Structure 1
């Protein structure tokens, strides 16, 4: 084992050079372990070095600066995360883009309680109109939806506390929980969740809590067919299974985050989901 587990400038440059030559992050970590590095130290070193390098490249290309984002505590590859009142399973994790699939975030009874509370208030879903800061009907989004106020009822407040612990982000930085209902044929075509900084309405939107920096899509039922959450740039499709949730974060409002995503058409049955968007600062 090396006399020190310190990440030296020489090691940083080696990681960058190897990555530039096409060596994958898992292969870099394996090579460091063969040289005596602790696995956790190797994983952290590769992630931090490559992220810092990519941030530098991004800024040199004139991209927006990266900001801190929510991050689940999964560096040591746990099977579950304790969120206080239940153990949430870690089913899959991807580093770039940061995508984590969780299981057992909600019980079937809690899922049904959210659906029952939302159903009487459903209306055609709107999207944020970044040209003006308002909202509009968008042909790309053919679901019905509604918003709960933060902490509006017991099950919503309980879910919000779990999410805050799960992704290590202040509860008050979350927008109100949105519930969406997709009937057969309904979909949400690929899009980004951050607000386009080039649009004139974005500054007014950001006054309420800054940029969105992460999303959690929570599946409230089991559609018979279709309705997965797709990430075309990866590519990846997450199947909608009741009680599970897919988390993804985006450190800058730019396509380089590879967080383009959509809701695939429901081909049989119906789909109910809840979406939690997380902001940089307190959402007011």
Structure 2
């Protein structure tokens, strides 16, 4: 039987790691390894988590960012009825961008995809799993993104950094997991489908490296600190194929971005307290 102090200690540990994006199943497995009794694991998670409400897709389509673009400097909505897409200039400061690039450069690995669809060169960039790094700067990024979009951080994946060298790209793809394909069930069983994407350019590329939405006839050129945000779903919860996009090749210089994907399921209210007040 754990003491009250130990219960509080484990509860704090669960909150911290959920903040980093670690799944509940992984946390429970680690607690079991540390010989925490099953009943106490349940008690810890009862303290740390609240039940997730059914997904309100209409509310997702009307989250905070969709209401404040008319009054927030640098935040713009593209003129299209086909998809919800926003750009937000100067979302991060130059100093915040440079600090993030420094962290990314220390933790790079080859990028992966859930389904190559027969093309092993579909994504040729490098990736940094920022969400796996216990760094105050990374925590700040997570909080700022969650507050910017207005969705609680627990409904997001760990923030990911990407580096593109000259000639590297991420060919046309969608961020949602394609229903009725082999990638769908393994990737949605626990957290559900991806909802919003929040991507930020960390540098301005001299030439190339744009993000192109071919079905929307829209192209965003990398500009340091600018975010591009879009809803991968329609207001009824169906996936939106108009969000197809292409991370184009830099033709000169390197391109650095960070991306945070939000999900259907998290812990606690989806739209209340999007920051980290409980940590």
Report the TM-score when normalising by structure 1: 0.66
2:248 corresponds to which residue? 264
In the TM superposition, what whole-angstrom CA distance separates every residue of 1:9-37 from its partner, at most 9, and x where no partner exists? Answer: xxxxxxxxxxxxxxxxxxxxxxxxxxxxx
In the TM superposition, what whole-angstrom CA distance separates every residue of 1:47-92 from its partner, at most 9, and x where no partner exists? Answer: xxxxxxxxxxxxxxxxxx9665363444465241xxxxxxx63144
For 1:128, what is the secondary structure of its paired residue? Answer: coil
In the TM superposition, what whole-angstrom CA distance separates every residue of 1:258-281 from its partner, at most 9, and x where no partner exists? Answer: 100111111111100001111111
User: Pairwise mapping of residues 113-132 of structure 1 onto structure 2 (< 5 A)?
Assistant: 113-129=99-115
User: Pairwise mapping of residues 113-152 of structure 1 onto structure 2 (< 5 A)?
Assistant: 113-129=99-115, 138-149=120-131, 152=134
Higher relative contact order, chain-length normalized (CA < 8 Å, sep 6+): 2
2:222 to 240, 243, 246: 240
User: Pairwise mapping of residues 198-213 of structure 1 onto structure 2 (< 5 A)?
Assistant: 198-213=180-195
2:78 to 89, 93, 98: 93
8 Å CA contact retained: 2:177, 2:183: no
Q: CA deviation at 1:157?
A: 1.2
2:167 to 162, 185, 198: 185
Larger mean Cα displacement after TM superposition, 257-266 or 91-100: 91-100
2:263 corresponds to which residue? 279
1:69 and 2:60 matched? yes
How big is the alpha-carbon RMSD for the aligned residues of Structure 1 and Structure 2? 2.6
In the TM superposition, what whole-angstrom CA distance separates every residue of 1:116-165 from its partner, at most 9, and x where no partner exists? Answer: 1121211111011499xxxx994111111121226731122112112112
Separation of aligned partners in 2, 1:205 and 1:265:
27
Work out which of the two has the higher radius of gyration on C-alpha atoms and give 1 or 2: 1
2:16 corresponds to which residue? none
2:39 corresponds to which residue? none
Q: For the structure 1 residues 77 and 176, does the alpha-carbon distance in structure 2 shift closer, same or farther, using more than 3 Å as the test? A: closer
8 Å CA contact retained: 2:211, 2:247: yes
Q: For the structure 1 residues 77 and 276, does the alpha-carbon distance in structure 2 shift closer, same or farther, using more than 3 Å as the test? A: closer
1:78 and 2:70 matched? yes
Give unmatched runs, 5+ long, in structure 2: 1-55, 268-279
Q: CA deviation at 1:246?
A: 0.2
For 1:163, what is the secondary structure of its paired residue? Answer: helix
1:104 corresponds to which residue? 90
Separation of aligned partners in 1, 2:171 and 2:183:
22
1:229 and 2:211 matched? yes
